Amino acid sequence: MSVSMLSTFVKPMHPEGRKFVAIAAAIAVVLFLVWEPLGWLAAGVTVWVYYFFRDPERVVPERPDVMVSPADGLVSLLEPAVPPAELGLGEAEMVRISVFMSVFNCHVNRLPSAGTIDVVAYRPGKFLNASLDKASEDNERNGLAVTLPDGRRYGVVQIAGLVARRILCWTKNGDTLERGERFGLIRFGSRLDIYLPPGATPLVRIGQTMVAGETVIADLTAESGEG
């Protein structure tokens, strides 16, 4: 299947963005009537709002033994950390990979590895800069605990940022999702934390650019000897 030039630049938009684009477009029309330069400025903002809510298709790796990034952005942290208590993943440290999303990244979130959702836990909190380490503990967040087909469990946590004010998650307890399947979205700048399951080996470095659903972040079998 060929890729058209138009599809390279024009991406589908997530339904969540429609009302925001409509509001921005309406403001642009009014400002054009008031003063044309302001109208063009508002038109640029409208295009940015559309761009923020873009939801492009992604090519998910076929290998069953890898995890993919749940978000577009940059790896900001890679370290051992205790997962949030509400996920029920225990008190032992797990390898945590944090992906920071700027306001220019696509903000649709995708599941790192196929499994069954056994916990969905929301916790209110602050709106600190999502690139800070303490954002994992202090900021508003929504976490998923996922059980892999082999019984191991991992966590994915959506964390609100400095300008993010809405975490969306349309996945519920008992759902079974495929690797790379959409599970949520965060508006306007934020972060995703991934707590790797036992035996998984991270395959990324701090500062590396991630593409949700495509970039491999960990090998599930490197230390376990499976597969």
Active site residues: 190
How far is CA 8 from its chain centroid? 22
**Cα angle value 175/177/180 (rounded, 5°):** 150
Q: Are 194 and 148 in contact (CB under 8 A)?
A: no
Q: Tell me 174's DSSP state.
A: T
Q: Which whole-number Å values give the CA distances from 155 to 32, 48, 112, 143, 163, in the listed order?
A: 48, 31, 9, 7, 24
Q: Residue 179: name the closest of 221, 141, 143, 149 by CA.
A: 149
Burial of 224 (0-12, 13-18, 19+ CB in 10 A): middle
For residue 136, the SS3 value is helix
